[in-house]
Amino acid sequence: MPKIRAATAADVPLVLDFIRDLAAYERLLHEVEATEEKLHATLFGPRPAAECILAFTEVGTPAGFAVFFTNYSTFLAKPGIYLEDLFVTPEHRGHGIGKALLLHLAKLANERGCGRMEWAVLDWNQPAIEFYESLGAERKQDWTICRLTGDRLARYA
């Protein structure tokens, strides 16, 4: 059974490694601007923007992580959890680690009175889609993600 725990500031180098591994898997390594300093500030600074949980094998080997934050549903008038990233190292996939991370977050969502938990998945990542659907997740195919980043976002500052 995997062990799940909240990340601490001492775990930032491991979190950054997981972020880079995830980005490489998603073919987006060129977009990673995260540094240990930025992660310390945004995960453990005075106003944390997100939380992180880590998964370890039974013998204590780091095996995966999830980064999430609180969002809000006006329709439900309740907070929710948005799962930004979920990653399990290739050698540890198929051993229940991803499921343990998601179930941990679902438990947190229930404890915090959340009305929902949601996330995005790349449309080409069929193994992930099948995994999420096997847990009962519903794909919202009628919604499209819109995003402003970098210079496009800065132009409105």
Residue 157 has pLDDT above 90, yes or no: no
- The DSSP annotation for 5-36 comes to EE--GGGHHHHHHHHHHHHHHTT-GGG----H
- Domain, as residue range, for 119: 3-154
In degrees, rounded to 5, the angle at the alpha carbon of residue 24 between the alpha carbons of residues 20 and 26 is 115
Residue 33 is predicted with a pLDDT of 97
Q: Write down the pLDDT at residue 79.
A: 98
pLDDT at residue 28, as a whole number: 95
Burial class from Cβ neighbours inside 10 Å (0-12, 13-18, 19+) for residue 138 reads exposed
Q: Which CATH number is 79's domain given? A: 3.40.630.30
pTM reported for the whole predicted model: 0.93
* pLDDT value of position 1: 87
Q: Which member of 25, 72, 82, 132 is catalytic?
A: 132
Does 2 score more than 90 pLDDT? yes
Q: Is 132 a catalytic residue?
A: yes
Structure tokens at 83: 């799962």
Give pLDDT tens digits for 78-123: 999 999 999 999 999 999 999 999 999 999 999 999 999 999 999 9
DSSP state of 148: -
Q: Are 79 and 72 in contact (CB under 8 A)?
A: yes
C-beta of residue 70 within 8 angstroms of C-beta of residue 113: no
Radius of gyration of the chain (CA): 16
Q: How many domains does the chain have?
A: 1
